[in-house]
Amino acid sequence: MMWKKVIKFIVIASLLFSLITVWSIENWSQTAHGELPSKTAVVLHAINNNLVTLDTDIKAPEFLSPDAAKDKKVTMKRTDTTIDVGKNNDIPVRIYRYSNVENAPVIMYYHGGAFLEGYGNLESHDNVIRSLAAKTGAVVVSPGYRVAPEYVFPAAVEDSYKALEWAFHHVEKFGGNPEKIAVAGDSAGGNLAAVTALKSRDQNGPELFAQLLFYPLTTFKDTNFESRTMYDSGYYLLSRQVMLKAREAYTPEQSMWQNPYTSPLNARDLSDLPPALIITAEYDPLRDEGELYGEKLHEAGTPVETVRYKGVMHGFVSFFEIMTSGNSALQNSAEFLQEADTTSVKAKKEYNVTIQNGPSGFSRFKEEAEAFAIGAFLVGKSTFNRMMK
C-alpha cells in the first residue's frame, strides 16, 4: 500500500539523515589539537562557516533548555543612559538590575571586542550583562567605552575608570551600594577590568571588593606563550591577525605596550588589589597569559582563583545559553562574587590552576542531545543552501 511505502521512505530518510549528522559532528570534532567535545565542535563549525546568526539561529531546543526557559520568567529592569567622560565626549551605559533591589552589590562589566570598532559592544554582550544581574542580584553597570581606530590608548582606560567613578556617585538611585563595587569583563574587557582595578588603587579611587576576569588579554608585549602559538589560527574565535590588528590600532606606539594600563601582567606592583577570579579556556590564545597573571597576583599577595575550562574556546561564556560550560562559568562567578562580598577572601599558600572538566552524567547526555539537534539543523541548512545554488 502507498502509505506503507511513504512511512518506509520517511524512516529510511530519517535514519540516513541521522547517520549523516552523526558523521558530520564526528568530522567537525577532529582538529590538529585533538578531538573537540561535540557541542564545541558544532558551535565552532556554525560560526566559522557563517551558517547561523548567533543571536537568533543557534539556540538549544526549548525542551532541552530548562535553565533558559526559567530565565525568561525573571523580570529585569534595564536602563540605558549616557555619561560625560570629558572633552565633550559621552559614552553609553547600560544598567541591569531587579526592579526592587536595595543596597545591592554593583558589578562594573566591561565588554570584550579587541578594543576595535565592530568587534564587540553592549548589544553583543547584552546576554552576559543581563545574566550576571539575574544570577547575582547585583546592579550591573556596563559602559560602552570608546574604541580604536578612532580612539587609541588611553581613551578606553579613561572611559572605564570614569564609568567606575560615575557608578560610585550615582548607583544608589538604581538600588546599588557604592561601597560594594566589583569589576568584571571578558577578553579586551577583562583587560580593562584588571586595569581599572589597578588605576583605582593607584588613584585612591573607589575601593573594589572583587575582580572577575574572563579570558583576559594581559600583555601587549611580544611574549612567547604556547597558547598564543598553538591556537592562533582564528578557528577558536580569536586569531593572531586580530590580536596584531588590535595592538596596531589601540596601541600604535611601541612604548605603550609595557604600560601597566595596557599590560597589567607587566606591572611592577600587583599588591593591594581586590580578590580575583580568572577564568580561562583550553582552546584560547589568551589562556597562558591569563593564568600567568593569576600567578603574578598570587606572588604579590592578592587572593586569586584561576579556573581553566576544558574543551571550550575563547568567548565561551557568551554562549552560556547553549554551552553548559559557559553557564557553569557564570554560576561559579556568581558564587565567587557572593563569597568576596560577604567574607574576607584570603590568599592561598600555593598558586594552582583548577581544571574544570566538561559536563558529566545527565548534563553530558543533555549536551550531546543538544549538539545533535544543532548539528542536524546545520546539516539541513547546508544541504538546503547547496540545493538553492
284 assigned to active site: yes
314 assigned to active site: yes
Residue with cell 574576607: 344
Closest CA to 176 of 82, 275, 77: 77
Retrieve residue 268's grid coordinates. Answer: 611592577
> How far, rounded to the nearest angstrom, does the alpha carbon of residue 154 sit from its chain's CA centroid?
23
Between the alpha carbon of residue 331 and those of residues 66, 363, 379, the distances in Å are 15, 15, 32
271 assigned to active site: no
Please check whether residue 33 is in contact with residue 231, taking contact to mean a CB–CB distance below 8 angstroms. Answer: yes
Paired sense of beta strands 208-214 and 176-186, if any: parallel
Quote the CA–CA distance of 142 and 82 in Å, as a whole number: 11
The residue from 45, 111, 298, 314 that is catalytic is 314
> How far, rounded to the nearest angstrom, does the alpha carbon of residue 214 sit from its chain's CA centroid?
5
Quote the CA–CA distance of 50 and 44 in Å, as a whole number: 10
Q: Is 255 exposed, middle or buried (0-12, 13-18, 19+ CB in 10 A)?
A: exposed
Quote the CA–CA distance of 323 and 325 in Å, as a whole number: 5
Closest CA to 134 of 60, 187, 78: 78
The residue from 284, 288, 298, 333 that is catalytic is 284
Quote the CA–CA distance of 318 and 131 in Å, as a whole number: 10
Please check whether residue 141 is in contact with residue 170, taking contact to mean a CB–CB distance below 8 angstroms. Answer: no
Quote the CA–CA distance of 6 and 216 in Å, as a whole number: 55
**Helix or strand holding residue 205 (H, E):** none
| Cis omega (within 30 of 0) for bond into 37 | no
Three-state SS string over 78-103 comes to EEEEEEEEECCEEEEEEEEECCCCCC
Which residues are marked as active site?
187, 284, 314
